[in-house]
Structure 1
Amino acid sequence: MEVGQMELKQEEAERLREYLLRGGFWHCDDFWGLRQWGQFARQVKKIFPEREIVEIPLTHEIFHTFYDIDQVLQPPNDGLGRYYTYSGGRTRTWEQPDDRDPHVRGVFDDKGRLMILITYNADLGDAWEWMDDPDYPAKFTGYAYRLGMNAIIYAMTH
């Protein structure tokens, strides 16, 4: 199940809250458009009703833990990635027309530690999965791996 369709039970939300407050880290990826965003945001409110989801600035450590990332890209799903390659980079990478821009957002604890990394309107998972396919755009796999490695190192050190 993708996070844009997730429906947490109260017990699941409580367990996830405890995990995150004890130092856990959760990366949410591959959900697109305002309907899926709304569904996801409602589930996060079950976990943390007192916290807000915020845009993570490019100056944040998550973009510089190991690799320096200076822009947010939009890794597409595998099908759109192939079209992007075949068109020479002239086709869309977004899935839903109601919200086309990629975002890296998050939820932080009281000490400023990132607990939930949200890559919205992007599919880092497909970029990782299809990285060895010559028809999937290398610029997106490189970005996805750099952000993913930064996230792993950040999660292990914060």
Structure 2
Amino acid sequence: MKQIAVLLLGLSSLIGFSQEIALLKYSGGGDWYANPTSLPNLAKFCNQNINTKINTKIPTVEVGSPDLFSYPFVHMTGHGNVVFSDSDVINLRNYLTSGGFLHIDDNYGMDQYIRKEIKKIFPDNPLVELPSSHPVFQKPFVFPGGVPKIHEHDNKKPQAFAIFIEGRIVLIYTVETDLGDGWENQEVHNDPIDVRTKALKMGANLIYYVFNN
């Protein structure tokens, strides 16, 4: 009964959602707080360039909290270990299958852990690499090569993977790109303006895709 009540709460929250985004706080020791300036900067960029009205004071929401259902777009990042409890898995699955969306950006070091946790949420739905022709790379900004490379880690190509549920993308996982670093204040990583702009445009595409599909 408790799970049903949470699901109903989630459905009612997502039906009337506003344009808000949140940062996901998780357990396991990984630094979920790794990029403190990234989401405020992304929100500001989206408000200025794609006509959103996102609050630039970005809230933090825990994986197992019913507050998760208040946000149509939730972002997750970090460098290390991630652990979802059984209740976290249920809450996150209910959130994603009732209209929510999760963007996970590997800040380098998360990959070996997060893949196992994603599998716990959707054991029967594999991560599928998105081709460069997918709409998320086409508007409002065009990325003909797919997700861009922002920071170099292991000399591997940047990739974007998705989980599809009944034809809808509920989760996108970006790896070997480090979009979140590109969203941070310029002085944090001293990235050139063109690199930061590229990262922000890709982030705006993610926001646009979620808010318009």
Contact residue 20 and residue 115 of structure 1 kept, 8 A: yes
- Asked if residue 43 in structure 1 is aligned to residue 98 in structure 2, the reply is no
Taking the TM superposition and a 5 Å limit, the aligned residue runs for 1:9-158 are 9-32=85-108, 36-71=110-145, 72-76=147-151, 93-94=152-153, 97=154, 100-111=156-167, 113-131=168-186, 135-158=190-213
Q: Which moved more, 1:121-130 or 1:132-141?
A: 132-141
SS of match in other structure, 1:67 = coil
Change (3 A) 1:48 1:125: same
Higher strand share: 2
- Runs of 4+ that moved beyond 2 A: 30-33, 130-135, 137-140
Distance 1:4 1:117 in 2: 18
Offset of residue 131 of structure 1: 4.0
User: Aligned-residue CA RMSD in angstroms?
Assistant: 2.1
Offset of residue 30 of structure 1: 2.7
Aligned residue pair count: 136
Contact residue 73 and residue 140 of structure 1 kept, 8 A: no
Cα deviation code 1:45-92 (max 9, x no counterpart): 11101100011001111111311111232212xxxxxxxxxxxxxxxx
- For structure 2, list consecutive stretches of 5 or more residues without a partner in the other structure: 1-31, 33-77
Structure-1-length-normalised TM-score:
0.77
SS of match in other structure, 1:5 = coil
Distance 2:174 2:105 in 1: 5
Contact residue 157 and residue 176 of structure 2 kept, 8 A: yes
Matching residue of 1:85:
none
Distance 2:193 2:106 in 1: 18
SS of match in other structure, 2:87 = helix
Offset of residue 122 of structure 1: 2.0
